[in-house]
Amino acid sequence: MALKTDAVGKEWGGTTYQVGREKIKEYANALGIENPVHFDVGAAREAGFRDVVAPPMFCVVYALPAMAPAILDPEVGMNFATMVHGGQEFEWGEVVCSGDEITTTPKCISIEEKMGNGFYVFESTSVNQDGAQVLRGVWTNIVRGV
């Protein structure tokens, strides 16, 4: 069966996330990250940040929800029963601090069949309230047996 590739090039609307101190703390605690710049506003400012700063991989907190409209789109048509997260790439720009508003926009960049599996690749772009790019993500989902 030929893989449906109509969604390649499709973009979805942006999702905005408001970054807060307690959420950064919760994320840092889950990962066992100990640098006080993630917990204490005084330590963060002393180190030159505007406010409590997010660890790089905090990006999942603001970017993951923004991917849902793309992942769930029937036009993409992924079979979730056999889907696995195959690969992930993140490229960071401006740091993210508490108080930032991050808007993430997803795009489908390729749908290909390789050795009987479907490779669905999405790109996300995240910018802060000043329009500065904070993150570019490339999300690869593999659907086994298409």
Partner 1 sequence: MADVNVGDEVRELRVTPDKYLPHRYAGASGDFNPIHIDDEFAKAVGLPRNILHGLYSMGLVAKANAVALAGGDPRALKKLSVQFRGMGVPEAEIVVTGKVESVDGNRVVVNTEATQNDTKLIKNAKAELDLES
Q: Does 22 bind partner 1 (CB under 8 A)?
A: no
Q: Binder to partner 1 among 20, 55, 69, 99 (CB under 8 A)? A: 55
Q: Binder to partner 1 among 7, 19, 38, 108 (CB under 8 A)? A: 38
Percent helix, percent strand, percent coil in the chain, to nearest 5: 25, 35, 35
Q: Does 72 bind partner 1 (CB under 8 A)?
A: no
DSSP E strands, the chain: 15-18, 83-92, 101-114, 117-127, 133-143
Q: Does 54 bind partner 1 (CB under 8 A)?
A: yes
Q: Does 56 bind partner 1 (CB under 8 A)?
A: yes
Tell me, what DSSP letter sits at residue 131?
Answer: S
Cβ closest to partner 1, residue 57 vs residue 72: 57
- The three-class DSSP label of residue 67 is helix
Q: Which stretch binds partner 1 (CB under 8 A): 53-61, 70-78, 104-112, 121-129?
A: 53-61
Residues 37, 96: contact at Cβ < 8 Å?
no
Q: Does 37 bind partner 1 (CB under 8 A)?
A: yes
